[in-house]
Structure 1
Amino acid sequence: MRKLALALALICATAAPARAEGDRAGDFDYYVMALSWSSNWCALQGDARRDPQCDRGRGVPFVLHGLWPQYERGWPSDCRTTAADPSRSDTAAVADLFGGAGAAFYQWKKHGRCSGLSARAYYALARQAFESITISPIFPRITQDLKVPASVIEGAFLEANPGLRADQITVTCRAGMIQEVRLCLTPDLTPRRCGADVIRDCTLQDAELNAVR
């Protein structure tokens, strides 16, 4: 019996080898651009880290959490790439976009390497993606903590971006708070329908939205 179990284990190992080296860079279907509501991220994580993003007076409503290569279902990770990591000056140049240079470098390591681009080109594309979306002027004017339906946040983006459809955007929540607005984009940054595993709208009617700091 022990010999049989060992033989079966060897057969299975041969039939389904582990992918130890990760996914191939540049092999993906579309991007998910995640915009994080900065004040809520600070309340959940940033304040405990004493992250500079959370300093009062910055006046930042959304920061770019990431521009993530995505499959129609699932996403690549630990991608193999010959692209060099970004320099300190490269990450410093996008600190305003990601909320900090450390966050920018982390996003390159986790997601940017899967884009098939150089670090500088990935950061440039991330800024282009962020600037392609209009953020309603109502968001920077939120000066007190609110409780709102998550659908109101999505509606504000749809109103500010007339070409955007409801199946191209989703709002996520965490711990009763608005967490992120996620938009699905083709590799050339045209809005497209989100994959089935991305469209998971928050349905809270009283999600917390903390005041802009």
Structure 2
Amino acid sequence: MKEAMQALGALFLAVFAAGAAWAGDETPGDFDYYVLSLSWSPNWCAQVGDAHGSEQCDKDRDFGWTLHGLWPQYDNGWPDYCKTTEHPPSQAMTLGMADIMGTAGLAWHQWEKHGTCSGLSAGDYFALSRQAYEAVNRPAMLRQLDKPVTLPASVVEEAFLEANPGWNADMLTITCKESAIAEARLCLTRDLDPRPCTGRTLRDCTATDALLTPIR
């Protein structure tokens, strides 16, 4: 029994070590495409931000769709927390993203988790993220809500497709969290042209009564 337990322990350590090595093997800049993730700020604030006192949720901020992040993707899966020789962003860089991301803290986290895998410097990564965000026409109709509504998640997708001629349904997914609209995720080439999504990025929210709360 003791020998069997030792063998099992050795196997566990070998598997753990292999997994750890794999996790660190991702090479910055080695990926297939980007996902641009936009978060519906009022829902995020109701679910998370208010409880943490996030400045993003202050009533004078007027946030609708904020930039969650620009994420390097593989056709199946994604890299994160890559080992990079690039310098981390300065405080000025992260503060400079708060107008579209809500907080400097989110900008820092997005660099640490996703930007390090882009192969870009922090400044170039944030500039590319802003370029991608500003290229999207965010549906004006969703900013006109004056009370919470429930609706099929597909309606939000259709609103984005109508506002952005040239996009196809397989280039965009809408996600939900706790029965509420969470994010719109657009798949982009390295040149920021819309392209079909793959893998888990294809999974649309299928809720027919997803909550959408109005801008504060």
| Band of TM-score, shorter chain | over 0.9
Confirm or deny: 8 A CA contact 1:31 1:184 kept in the other structure. yes
- The reply to whether residue 81 of structure 1 matches residue 80 of structure 2 is no
TM-score (norm 2): 0.91
**1:29-108 pair list within 5 angstroms:** 29-108=32-111
Shift of 1:112: 0.5
Secondary structure (helix, strand or coil) at the match of 1:83 reads coil
Secondary structure (helix, strand or coil) at the match of 1:144 reads coil
Q: Whole-Å Cα distance in 2 between the matches of residues 3 and 57 of structure 1?
A: 65
Shift of 1:2: 5.3
Relative to its length, the structure with more helix (as a share) is 2
RMSD: 2.0
Shift of 1:3: 5.1
- The reply to whether residue 132 of structure 1 matches residue 135 of structure 2 is yes
Query: What amino acid is aligned across from residue 164 of structure 1 in structure 2?
Result: W
Confirm or deny: 8 A CA contact 2:77 2:199 kept in the other structure. no
Residue 159 of structure 1, aligned match among 141, 157, 162 = 162
Q: Deviations over 1:69-127 (max 9, x none)?
A: 11111110220100000111111111111111111111100110010100000000000
Residue 115 of structure 1, aligned match among 109, 115, 118 = 118
- The reply to whether residue 13 of structure 1 matches residue 9 of structure 2 is no
Query: What amino acid is aligned across from residue 85 of structure 1 in structure 2?
Result: P
Secondary structure (helix, strand or coil) at the match of 1:189 reads coil
Confirm or deny: 8 A CA contact 2:36 2:186 kept in the other structure. yes
Aligned residues with identical type, % of pairs: 52
Query: What amino acid is aligned across from residue 204 of structure 1 in structure 2?
Result: A
Residue 31 of structure 2, aligned match among 11, 23, 28 = 28
Secondary structure (helix, strand or coil) at the match of 2:200 reads coil
Q: Whole-Å Cα distance in 2 between the matches of residues 52 and 38 of structure 1?
A: 12
Aligned length: 212
Q: Which residue matches 2:173? A: 170
Shift of 1:202: 0.8
Confirm or deny: 8 A CA contact 2:39 2:183 kept in the other structure. yes
Confirm or deny: 8 A CA contact 1:60 1:140 kept in the other structure. no
